[in-house]
């Protein structure tokens, strides 16, 4: 199995380095990752502007672009690949995080290209003394041996979140429903002497947040959790809602594409 590994923390980040070290000797891997941190880049890619890609080690490529740029380059130049792993990210990607995460964005790009894709994140909240990347990488390898790629349906991304706690990360992997909470722009202050300008900082959501008991954001407190995220094309509505039909009928003469 030939695996592309990427991330949004940068090619030298400890999470992706720990993952590569753990996969070495058992899986054929290629690393293609950004030249610096690109957290929050989501599924953005570089359009109509040249960017550089260069080898920086054996099977390691550095990209002057986004995580999606990395996947595009890898599949276009270095492929084919049988699977994609994005991570191990510094920080969890739970609930609405997945809309903004470059880690998850890279995994989505892999899934769009028809291969199983995992986004892997380490929940470091409240654990700044030590980051258990090596232990998390060992868990990922364990789940790979157990066939986790075969458990991801086509059109889905496996979103793995692992607690940064040696008492919790060894627990069995559980299923968690995709949760519902968001980041907030807060700590806003007016720029002195400049009207209608603010200094804004994006921070983690304040506690408590809406974490229903069976969601990823709640279950991460008890052990590793897996959620499945649908590609947009697979999750789009097949039939318009009644409100949409009513609006089309009232304003557009009932225009609905023929089936």
39 is in an annotated binding site: yes
DSSP-derived 3-state class of residue 187: strand
Straight-line distance from the first to the last Cα atom of the chain, in angstroms, rounded to the nearest whole number: 40
Cβ atoms 14, 5 nearer than 8 A: no
Closest CA to 67 of 22, 15, 26: 15
Beta bridge partners of 186: 201
214 is in an annotated binding site: no
| E runs forming strands in the chain | 2-6, 28-34, 53-57, 60-63, 83-90, 117-123, 156-163, 174-175, 184-190, 198-203, 225-230
58 is in an annotated binding site: no
Please give the annotated binding residues for a divalent metal cation, written as ranges: 8-9, 39, 89
Please give the annotated binding residues, written as ranges: 8-9, 39, 89
């Amino acid at each position: 199995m030939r695996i592309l590994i990427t991330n949004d923390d940068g090619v030298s980040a400890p999470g992706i380095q720990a993952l590569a070290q753990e996969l070495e000797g058992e899986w054929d891997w290629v690393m293609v990752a950004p030249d610096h941190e690109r957290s929050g880049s989501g599924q953005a890619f570089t359009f109509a502007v040249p960017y550089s890609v260069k080898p920086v080690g054996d099977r390691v490529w550095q990209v002057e672009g986004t995580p999606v740029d990395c996947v595009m380059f890898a599949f276009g130049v270095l492929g084919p690949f049988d699977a994609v792993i994005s991570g191990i990210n510094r920080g969890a990607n739970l609930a609405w995080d997945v809309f903004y995460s470059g880690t998850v964005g890279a995994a989505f790009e892999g899934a769009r290209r028809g291969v199983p894709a995992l986004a892997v994140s380490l929940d470091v909240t409240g654990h700044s003394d030590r980051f258990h990347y090596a232990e998390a990488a060992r868990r990922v390898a364990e789940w790979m041996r157990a066939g986790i790629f075969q458990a991801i349906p086509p059109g889905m991304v496996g979103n793995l979140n692992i607690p940064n706690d040696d008492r919790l990360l060894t627990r069995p992997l559980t299923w968690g429903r995709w949760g519902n909470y968001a980041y907030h722009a807060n700590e806003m202050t007016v720029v002195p002497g400049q009207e209608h300008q603010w200094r804004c900082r994006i921070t983690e959501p304040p506690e408590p947040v809406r974490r229903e008991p069976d969601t990823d954001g709640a279950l991460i407190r008890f052990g590793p959790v897996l959620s499945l995220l649908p590609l947009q094309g697979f999750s789009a509505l097949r039939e318009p809602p009644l409100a949409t039909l009513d609006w089309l009928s009232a304003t557009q003469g009932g225009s609905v594409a023929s089936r």
